[in-house]
Chain A
């Protein structure tokens, strides 16, 4: 038991170290590469990109993210699901919450299939089929200014490069001084104006007092910001790790109360809250049932170069390995399989030294 405890402690420190390395954004920015674990790149502290986010985005864009897929495939082939046990920050959180005393649940066997559904549906198929809903898009040329005595006449040409018509043009005339400091902002609304896709529109000339004749005039509009709504069919919008790391923690780190806890955010927070409770009750419920990255690594686990294996002849069927397993496996049958996170707890628990970590391309045990 002492051996298991020592092993788990070393695993805890490895995960803690990985969590720190994966969140070094203020010092190291490597957003061009994928982290090996689920770590939301919406978090300002994230060092690298989340592979699940990149693949889902690639699906929505109908673009094949070769580098992201190559990275996770390489990690999977080299280590199987070792990352889940030693690197993943969300795995660490699950382990910590499950240590809190209280009633404990055993998850049903079918729970494990959820992560494959998440990978197939919410990361690949639905983002590919449904994409994003996009709005915004109004483009403005620099306004034409015609001074007329005490007044300035302003004409603005509006273009719409989007696939959808934009109705009810609203813009703001913004004056800035030579240093770029904003002096004044005048909202202008044209509720009857519609700009068709690919179309242009010359807005009516507006006349304004020549109080800021020496200032530089530009146009701004909320409709000039392209907004993408991923919808609930996109894994990232409901990912509890993303909610925690990108929605909840950043404001808390700034000493603020997280805002916008309504609408979809309320749903996300509800999902996160449900998982946090479940993490306390059951061991690693997210890893086992919902993590698409775990599902991908699980598919590669049987072919991993570093993998767990058991010497069946040494097994005395004492059940110590089953009790130590954090993902509730029937260890003698399932160790080294797609559900095994290769944490090594069973290896530490086995009194017969029958479970070991194997390395190499061949399945044959080295002498």
Chain B
């Protein structure tokens, strides 16, 4: 009885400040809330694509080619009834519904963005920590990274994609490789500064072994900048994927992506700009949301550069 009383009294007291704290936090980090909210909506859209009033994005219908946005058409069903279909974003030159393609296209962009960001961050973290901690390895690894970085990212990705069969996996791989050096450089620079800290020396003096030292003292220090960098890599990966698909060397047109919808719309752009307009807007908004989120995360995690860059 006594225990329940103390709980019921204790709960409301911190609850009120907690609420204002959330509000304050949201106010202070407006960009995280804004970027996160837009991004959440796009992720939801990608996941819920089948129930958002879409039709099969790959379904070709020669009868309704090149409809303008918001065009309606009546379809006669098998049982004689009629339904009206509205193409909010029109149809493309093969009669496919642009709205469905754009909604499904979010999947490719997000998968590529997240996969590239996570994998390149993981690989970069391992290489960066090792290069920063093992002096012998440092020189060789960093020269290789410098070499990779001296090739502009999009060119390297184009070159790599051209060597293998185009597809989701090869595109992801082709974008990861140019992104890894950026992570390695960042992680290495953090590791180099951390290893001279007194508390690391203290840990060594206390007999901590290398794996424990890295896991307990060194790696946690790299997490904050790494999270920020990962967000920006995600944004850049989405752009590179769209660019590759747009140039026709990325994900083949059976899978709709914002880039290849635009690529297919190029031929008739003057007459039917909607094929390029809608995926372009979604692409730009998504990348913008990721970048805003990244800026917000940097402000939160790295107070030194806050409001400067």
State yes or no: do A and B come from one complex.
no
A residues with CB within 8 A of B: none
B residues with CB within 8 A of A: none
